[in-house]
Structure 1
Amino acid sequence: MSDLVKQARELQPLLDERAAECERLGRLTDDIDAAYHERGLYGMWVPRSLGGSELDPISALRVLEALSYAQPSAGWVLAATALETGTAGAYLGDEAVAELFAGERFPVLGGQGTRPGTAVPRDGGYDISGSWSFASGIKHASYTHNAVVTTDTEQFRVCVAPLEKATLIDNWDVLGLVATGSIDYTMTDVFIPPGWSHDGLVEGSTRGGPFYDLGVVQIALICHSGWTLGIGRRILDELAASARKKAGRPGQLASSEHFHLGFGTMEGKFRAAAALVFETWHDVWNTLSAGDQLTTRQRTLLRIALTNITWTTQEVSQWAYKNGGTSALCDGVMQRLFRDMHAGTQHILSANGVLAEAGRELAGLAEGQKWVFLALE
């Protein structure tokens, strides 16, 4: 087991205890942020050549599963910031990386990678402008990770800029994932020097091993799969614990055959969806570790695995809410899990359009096409 998986599991009591306070603040508490730094979690995908863990996909799934089990917002923040910090270390130019990773602890990047701003070429770099939404973890960041499209070639790029160059808009007033602080922000004509941006679809890095052959999009699939594994397992465990606690009382769930049948069905569906996630990522990692390139079918199955675990867990959360009684209705763990799960289903990676594209490829109707972000071309 990776040491980072152990570190993540050791943090579960703290994350659980601070969940309500994190929601009140709209961000993670300072002690959680400090623990992420001290335990190297922000650097889980930073290349080893820069002092990071360069964590493999299976271990990364387990890290995010453990954190999200204890507090889904805490897992979500780590997923977003670790991805953006790690890919900056892997894909930016040498001068940018030397500056970013010169401190005693890793930088933290937060921002948005799916709704691009614009980048106007200038002096070897770019002037970027835009209005970005859903910047998960940006309240813990010192730099921004910004998706842009260049005005000359219409290339999708990621630009990194100091946080102070952005205007933050504290507008995260939402039902679930409250503590992720996924606010909006804007920038106008901010100069990005040469080396401080990279191709948004790049796959491969001279600073690291085969993990970086995944590219940003595939790494994001790990993020959301690991998050869903954690929240789904916690929902079922909480409901089972509630039923056991009330066992022996007349009319309670523990003595209901209908509940027994439903719980067995939900456990089976969730475990099957989780098994597909791990089966698919084991196959992908074996391919990359052997020095081979991923096939279109493997990329399709990664997307299928994510959408399947997401919507299966959403079904589990609905069933648990209906059977949880006042423990699901009142403020507390079950209510928070229900809210967070429904917020998580709104992410673009789990949208029906992605599933439809995957189905088209699986049906043999996309011959010769390849995945470009979330569509086949």
Structure 2
Amino acid sequence: MAYEVLDRIIDSADELRAGADESERLGRLSDGVAKQLRRSGIIRLLQRKKYDGYEAHPREFAETVMKAASIYGSAGWIGGIVGVHPWQLAFADPKVQDEVLGGDTDTWQASPYMPGGVAIPVEGGFRLTGRWQFSSGTDHCDWIFLGAMVGDSEGKPLMPPTGLHVILPRADYEIVEDSWDVVGLRGTGSKDIVVTDSFIPEYRVMRSAEVIDGTAAKEYGVTETLYKMPWSTMFPLGITAATIGICEGVLAAGVDYQRERVGAAGTKIKDDPYVLHSLGEAAAEIDAARQQLLSNVDRIFDLVDAGKEIDFETRATARRNQIRSAWRAVRAADEIFDHSGGNALRMDNPLQRFWRDAHAGIHHAIHVTSTTYHAAALASLGVEVPAGPLRVMI
């Protein structure tokens, strides 16, 4: 059962914390931290039961990712991002599902989905060339999902653009070492990926529009509610859950630090009404962010389970709420950190790492507010949202 995964994450908390410093130095998850995540089963929560997965409710996935991130941010981030790839694999061609998971059901898959490459049509598939940033957890993955644009024979993207999600084995791409030197989420190892003229057979290619609108799942006769969920709900879920979980880590570390702290004026924080007010308000905001994200995914799941059509306005509203929950949590984390004094800046204080990781999390593309808020507002007014940036990731 999925709750067993959460229990294993909690039981491994000491090991995850102990591996944080090494992961930060390496710029990727240490082998020890990755081993604990594999043992927990967090990456298999959304995986098909056919391949030893749990087919967990998205809420259970989000709750487990939050817990992992509250212990060590980069571990939760990998759980959230790498953990969603088996969900998409579940409605890919059965042949590629067997290739990826048939031999080892603990095989991890990386991404990113941004169209960093051009795929030229050839007999039997495509030839792909490109470079992608932000491939989280990629050192521990043996397959990868990459976003690409269909191109002409000269390698120029066709217009209007046609997006693809292509699936490659580790032998067909290069991880660029030393391409992840950042201020936050250092342990995620979100390195660059390079592909040079690799052949991608047709069965390893998914049309991104069909992934977004659910056609891909219907094509292979998927019946489980989990795999009929909108991509724009599921892919952001792990990332936002990790970000909120990291903010819960800020709160826990902040409370622990303030417990015996004496402020600059010589007043114990326990007796400082201003800091206590700020801490109490921030705690309520982080909890509200958590509940907003979970109730959001519950609502979409229930609609899908009831056979309802998830139209653009519903998807846009869900994305708006998901984004808002992340920003709400990070702004509350700022309040905690800003009232923790100068010693919160010291590198041996875990509070600063959680705070840095929270801000790194909010910088992910799925947390950009502008276009999604704009699109959600237009849709609520009954205005047809035009194709282009306003519909991206909705």
**Global fold match (TM > 0.5):** yes
SS of equivalent to 2:116: strand
Equivalent residue, structure 1, for 2:155: none
Q: CA deviation digits over 1:96-136, x for unaligned, max 9? A: 22222221433211121123311111122111111100011
1:270 alignment partner, one of 286, 297, 303: 286
* Comparing 325-334 and 167-176, the one that deviates more: 325-334
Equivalent residue, structure 2, for 1:241: 256
Equivalent residue, structure 2, for 1:307: 323
1:220 alignment partner, one of 235, 247, 266: 235
Please provide the CA RMSD for this pair. 2.4
Equivalent residue, structure 2, for 1:200: 208
Equivalent residue, structure 2, for 1:99: 99
The one-letter code of the counterpart of 2:53 is G
Q: Distance in 2 between matches of 1:261 and 1:369?
A: 45
Unaligned runs of 5+ in 2: 153-157
- Normalised by the length of structure 1, the TM-score is 0.92
Equivalent residue, structure 2, for 1:337: 354
Q: Distance in 2 between matches of 1:166 and 1:279?
A: 39
Equivalent residue, structure 1, for 2:172: 165
Equivalent residue, structure 2, for 1:125: 125
The one-letter code of the counterpart of 1:218 is T
Maintained 8 Å contact 1:357/1:376: no
Say whether residues 1:346 and 2:350 are aligned partners. Answer: no
**Paired-residue identity, %:** 20
- Normalised by the length of structure 2, the TM-score is 0.88
The one-letter code of the counterpart of 2:138 is I
* Comparing 272-281 and 339-348, the one that deviates more: 272-281
Superposition deviation, residue 351 in structure 1: 0.7
2:198 alignment partner, one of 190, 193, 205: 190
Equivalent residue, structure 2, for 1:65: 66
Equivalent residue, structure 2, for 1:25: 26
The one-letter code of the counterpart of 2:197 is D
Q: Distance in 2 between matches of 1:293 and 1:8?
A: 35
Q: CA deviation digits over 1:333-371, x for unaligned, max 9? A: 111011111111111111122443344236415347799
The one-letter code of the counterpart of 2:26 is L
SS of equivalent to 2:202: coil
Q: Give the paired residue count.
A: 376
* Comparing 335-344 and 349-358, the one that deviates more: 349-358
Equivalent residue, structure 2, for 1:79: 80
Kindly report which structure 2 residues correspond to 1:127-166, keeping only aligned pairs within 5 A, or say none. 127-151=127-151, 154-166=161-173
User: Structure 1 residues 117 and 61 mapped into 2: Cα distance closer, same or farther (>3 Å)?
Assistant: same
* Comparing 358-367 and 219-228, the one that deviates more: 358-367
SS of equivalent to 2:114: strand
Q: Distance in 2 between matches of 1:232 and 1:289?
A: 31
SS of equivalent to 2:139: helix
Maintained 8 Å contact 2:175/2:192: yes
Maintained 8 Å contact 1:37/1:105: no
Say whether residues 1:4 and 2:20 are aligned partners. Answer: no
Superposition deviation, residue 286 in structure 1: 1.0
* Comparing 218-227 and 32-41, the one that deviates more: 32-41
Maintained 8 Å contact 1:366/1:376: no
Q: CA deviation digits over 1:264-312, x for unaligned, max 9? A: 2222222222222122111111111222222333312321222212211
